[in-house]
Structure 1
Amino acid sequence: METAVAPTTEQLTLEEKLAQLMFVRMGSNLPPIVTASDDEQRVAELLERCPIGGLLLFNGVWPHVRDSLTRLQAKSRVPLLVSADLERGAGQQVGGLTVFPHARAFAQLGDQAESSLRDAISITAREALQAGVQILFAPVADANTNPQNPIIATRAYGEDPAEVARLVAVVVEAAGQAGALAAAKHFPGHGDTSQDSHDGQPCVDRPADELHACELPPFRSAIQSGVPLIMSAHVSYPALDPTGEPATFSKPILTDLLRGELGFTGAVCSDSLLMAGARDRYQSEGQMAAAALLAGVDMLLDLADPAAAVAEMAELVRSEQIPEARVNEAVGRVLKLKAKIANQAPHADPIPAEQVQEHKRTAAAIAKAAIRVVSPAGGAPPRLAPDKPTTVVLMKPFNLPSDPAQQPLAAAIQQRIPSAQYFEFGPDVDADLRDQAVAAAQNGGQLLVAIIAKPAAWHAFGMTDPQRQLADDLAQLDGAVIASLGVPTILQDFPAAVPKLCTYSDVPDSQTGLADLLCPTA
């Protein structure tokens, strides 16, 4: 498979250079749900009008997405950089490929953390490249120092900046060795926020010395490891920029701090510019894109109308409100990434199905190994006997259109205990179903209460009040076991004597791993 050669900056017109800074989503896992391949025609038509720099892939399906991306690359005069949020493996955005547990799970593996993470990233990069994706929007380099953080939480490797820095370096190195491009995010640190930047404007109001000590070490580690991209945060840091501008639009943060003080020479990409933390500040996408570019952003992610933004920015360049030298600098960094990818060995041969299955077995083993008994402190996990009446109650903080009819925990438990009764509650607890669940749990036997406590864009974090009341009532019953499929902090207020476990993730393998621990088969 031949790869087109990226042109030089001098070979592009002003509009073409500006278009190279635009990265547009392909596919969607939010309503209305669209697979990446179903979105191919729209992207192809856009390429005829606006030679964008790359794509943000959502909701791909293997192997169809590979074919779609191959056709789009052939239509584009300048090679496309294709990126995706792959914090949890290529299967996070390409159905059929491997899904790994959240980052926090790897931090539980002790001496095996680095080797397991290196294996996971190598697999992720290989599968992504086979699918046509070159940029992994990973690692999350945020130290999750705020337990109430609604958007980082289990996506971070932990709370300790030094520990996060160590694992971030592993990700950057493993991705590079596999031929993919890592992107450390969200600079200068999203771990101490209590608000989701997707639907608001978070602020981290800490002194500069604390920010340097708590937020920056993982990014320093990423830079020292040769990370080619860093993603900005739509978060304000008054101690770093007294104007209150979010990092994405802050020259003191992206140019003076990131490039000047930390010495980063790679490309800076914005977080999604559809997020409220960015779009609500400007009257047009062109104005927003121009502000980000002037602050130090090289790659403008997730614009709704890139052609209009290019036209508006071109007028700003011609009127000298945007220096063309800044445009040339940014497009030069984008073209350098494209040249780097083009010079690597092509990944033309599909991964054999048996190899993908081996990858998935690796992911399952990691997910199970990460599960911990957190109360009473440590010790062996409790056991659910296959011959006793068993009730399972699962709570999830929000409903997604992509959710299965039942979470994987249901089948995993019922496979081992066929008579187990399973009840699942979304954020609104149905009164009749609640009464049925409580009655089943009160009927003696054994009870598992599982709580999904994970971050997700534009969604609530943690239990709703009705869920919390139900969980509190169930925790008082004899034989209760409580499990968090996410952060351990949600377990803190339950009675100390109740056995508690944490999987640090809600991916299917984490749920199945929990069932394996609680009711192991012979």
Structure 2
Amino acid sequence: MTHQRSLSALTRRAAAFAVTAALLLATAGCSMPLFPDGSEASPKASASPSASAKAQSTKGSDAGDKSNDAGSATPQASEASAQDKAKAILATMSVEQKAGQLMMVPLFAGNGATDVQSLVQNDHVGSVLLLGNWKGGTNAVAQVSSTLQGYTSGVGLLICADQEGGQVQHLTGSGFDTMPSAVKQGQMSVDDLRTSAKTWGGQLKSAGVNVDLAPVAGTVQTASRSQNAPIGALDRDFGLDATGNGQHAAAFVNGMRDAGVMTSIKHFPGLGGVTGNTDFTDSGITDATTTLDGGQIEGFRQALQANPDMVMMSLATYSQIDPNEPAAFSSTILNDYLRGTLGYQGVVTSDSMSAAALGSIPAKELGVRFVSAGGDLICIGANDYVRPILTGLVQKAQSDPAFAQQVDQAALRVLTLKVNAGLAG
């Protein structure tokens, strides 16, 4: 089941509320929520990584301070040499190839790798997200991952999954542990969580998955956890205060890095202050409490100390920061604050561009608006959005030199990440 733009906003909103109320399993993020029995619900996508990014923020937690002993997920080169190699690759690319590197497309459980073969080989798509309930275990996923990588030439794929734990774990079966919810992970010490995350990361790596679109670094701000549909109601946060959440997020990032797997903290600047799930509704998704000088932002400051490979942007709107744009389209939040004030220079990914929160925006404009705000990797959770978004990027870059330069900058960040991860150069 996908979101169709032919549905009216009213129909889509009603359908979204029905699904959310019935299941209470809507996972915000570039991910697909699952029914309680594990069958697939509406396709949604989740986020993505930047291995060489260095966040220069305020004092770090103990977990964050340990990040420097591990470096990037799979360190291959210094930052300067990695970027030089990425620039050399970029110089050989057409506009279409550059745009393809900014795309993360879905591959649903039960479908073969051939479903995205043409996108990878002919449209130069550079990232694939495994969505749905993949029950076959590590060996089955590894076969798919290997086939996908075989479609590439020169620059490998980011193969991503949404493995947070609890109700958000899309890869299961032999070889994959059943991960506890983030709230239960929050009851661990940061050292124990790092050790567990290394184990879970090793399982992903054995399956050929090189990016985990996790962890959630936000903090619930609503009066009760159940009122916060995207995070609190699903136990997707660590269940602590902002500092504790950030320290545990850093430990998760470091553990995954220890296993050679990249991560994406999400959903910046936090989904803890909204009542609606952006995946399924365009109502209740304005946060009136979050500011840039405290609250749940502190969780992200702490998590950034671990130098996560990616940061995923929220699709909610933050009236105290930028009341006019969702965070993913806000240059104030993304470019000025995340990149400028916090100093994060790595890959920034979007939450799912096929989410109901963005249903009033033509699909062709979605990627353009994200890249214009300073974003890099466009996460897509529904197949029918892929072609319009890709076409929009290419046409805008061909007609607008300033936007073409932004595409170059975004592609350079993605390629630098891939060089550091041993996927290019």
Compute the RMSD of aligned alpha carbons.
Answer: 2.2
Which of the residues 182, 187, 190 maps onto 1:108?
187
Structure 2 distance, partners of 1:321, 1:195, is 38
Q: Could you list the per-position Cα deviations for residues 87-112 of structure 1 after superposition, in whole angstroms to 9, with x for gaps in the alignment?
A: 01896424321111101012234xxx
What CA distance in whole angstroms lies between the structure 2 residues aligned with 1:123 and 1:39? 27
Cα offset, 1:262, TM superposition:
0.9
TM-score by structure 2 length? 0.72
CA contact (8 A) 1:114 1:170 kept: yes
User: Within the alignment, does 1:47 sit opposite 2:120 as a pair?
Assistant: yes
Amino acid aligned to 1:299? L
2:150 corresponds to which of 45, 49, 74 = 74
Supply the distance in 2 between the matched residues of 1:207 and 1:118 (Cα, whole angstroms). Answer: 28
Q: CA deviation at 1:223?
A: 1.6
Say if 2:186 and 2:240, in contact at 8 Å, map to a contact too.
Answer: no
Superposition TM-score, scaled by structure 1 size:
0.59
SS of corresponding position for 1:26:
strand
Instruction: Provide structure 2 residue ranges, at least 5 long, that are not aligned to the other structure.
Output: 1-75, 77-84
Residue 322 to residue 53, structure 1, CA distance change in 2 (3 Å): farther
Letter matched to residue 150 of structure 1 = A
SS in 2 for 1:158: coil
In structure 1, distance between residues paired with 2:244 and 2:309: 21
Alignment partner of 1:299 out of 377, 380, 383: 377
* Matched residue type, 2:141: V
The reply to whether residue 230 of structure 1 matches residue 311 of structure 2 is yes
**Correspondent of 2:198 among 122, 125, 145:** 122
Deviations 1:122-154 (A, max 9, x none): 011111011011111111101122221011011
AA of the residue aligned to 1:64: A
Percent sequence identity is: 28
Distance 1:301 1:39 in 2: 20
- The equivalent of 2:160 in structure 1 is 83
List aligned pairs for 1:206-221, cutoff 5 A.
206=289, 208=291, 211-221=292-302
**CA deviation after TM superposition for structure 1 residue 323, in Å:** 1.9
Give the direction of change, closer, same or farther, for the CA distance of 1:9–1:100 in structure 2 (3 Å limit).
same
Q: 1:343 to 1:330 in 2, by over 3 A?
A: closer
Shift of 1:234: 0.5
Query: Of residues 390, 403, 406 in structure 2, which corresponds to 1:310?
Result: 390
For residues 419 and 102 of structure 2, the distance between their equivalents in structure 1, rounded to whole angstroms, comes to: 15
Q: 1:309 to 1:242 in 2, by over 3 A?
A: closer
Match of 1:274 in 2: 354
- Structure 1 residues 91 and 241: CA distance shift in structure 2, 3 A: closer
Whole-Å Cα distance in 2 between the matches of residues 340 and 18 of structure 1?
20
TM alignment of 1:320-399, pairs within 5 A: 320=400, 323-342=403-422
Alignment correspondent of 2:343: 263
Aligned mates of 1:155, 1:91 — CA distance in 2: 11
- 4+ runs of 1 displaced by more than 4 Å? none
Offset, 1:207: 6.2
Describe the superposition over 1:364-415 as per-residue Cα deviations: whole angstroms up to 9, x where unpaired. Answer: xxxxxxxxxxxxxxxxxxxxxxxxxxxxxxxxxxxxxxxxxxxxxxxxxxxx
- Residue 51 of structure 1: CA displacement? 1.2
The one of the two structures with greater contact order (alpha-carbon pairs below 8 A, sep at least 6) is 2
Secondary structure of the residue aligned to 2:275 is: coil
Say if 1:204 and 1:235, in contact at 8 Å, map to a contact too: yes
Cα offsets for 1:234-254 (capped at 9, x unmatched): 1000111132x1101111010
Q: CA deviation at 1:47?
A: 2.2
- Aligned equivalents of 2:105, 2:402: Cα separation in 1: 22
Aligned length: 325
Tell me the equivalent position of 2:216.
140
Counterpart-to-counterpart distance in 1, 2:394 and 2:290: 39
Aligned counterpart, 1:150: 229
Aligned partners of 2:201 and 2:259 also within 8 Å = yes
Matched residues in 2 for 1:291 and 1:336: separation?
22
Matched-pair contact (CA < 8 Å) for 1:56–1:82: yes
CA deviation after TM superposition for structure 1 residue 224, in Å:
1.7
Instruction: Give the secondary-structure state (helix, strand or coil) at the position aligned to 1:219.
Output: helix
Shifted more, 98-107 versus 261-270: the winner is 98-107
- Select the structure of larger CA radius of gyration: 1
What is the one-letter code of the residue matched to 1:120? S
CA distance in 1, matches of 2:104, 2:94: 18
Larger mean Cα displacement after TM superposition, 294-303 or 180-189: 294-303
- Correspondence for 1:398: none
